[in-house]
Structure 1
């Protein structure tokens, strides 16, 4: 079986996501179960869309002081 490089894979396993985000699998399982991170469950396995994860990560950035003063929250 040919292994596709992770940077070309659309759907990530929990192990691949943990490596990609440098986070623990247990924490990611909990976040997926509680709907805190975009995920799909296929049977008993979680899958994560790389593009959705990238967008979710961008949305996790803290609001800057300038944005708070203007009343813009992201």
Structure 2
């Protein structure tokens, strides 16, 4: 699958997330995506590297501060309230 361009729907299914999550990652997390006309396209190997490097994390700032996992879970439900 990594040698061809995939759509938002395909990359969302590949990662097990919603299309809205993918669009949010493109806008806010610098997800590796390429605009082809009006469509976003992806290379799975680029996305795999991006995920492995921790870029898909919901709480990058908290990870950098090395907060306990239990504290992070308390804030997981409020992700849409930020920003």
Could you state the TM-score of these two structures normalised by the residue count of structure 2? 0.58
Bigger radius of gyration, 1 or 2? 1
Q: Structure 1 unaligned segments of length 5 or more: list them.
A: 1-6, 66-74
Q: Which runs of 4+ in 1 moved over 3 A?
A: none
Q: Structure 2 unaligned segments of length 5 or more: list them.
A: 58-62, 67-83
Higher strand share: 1
Measured in 1, the distance between the counterparts of 2:2 and 2:45 equals 11
Could you state the TM-score of these two structures normalised by the residue count of structure 1? 0.64
How many residues align structurally? 58
RMSD over equivalenced CA pairs, Å = 2.3
Higher helix share: 2
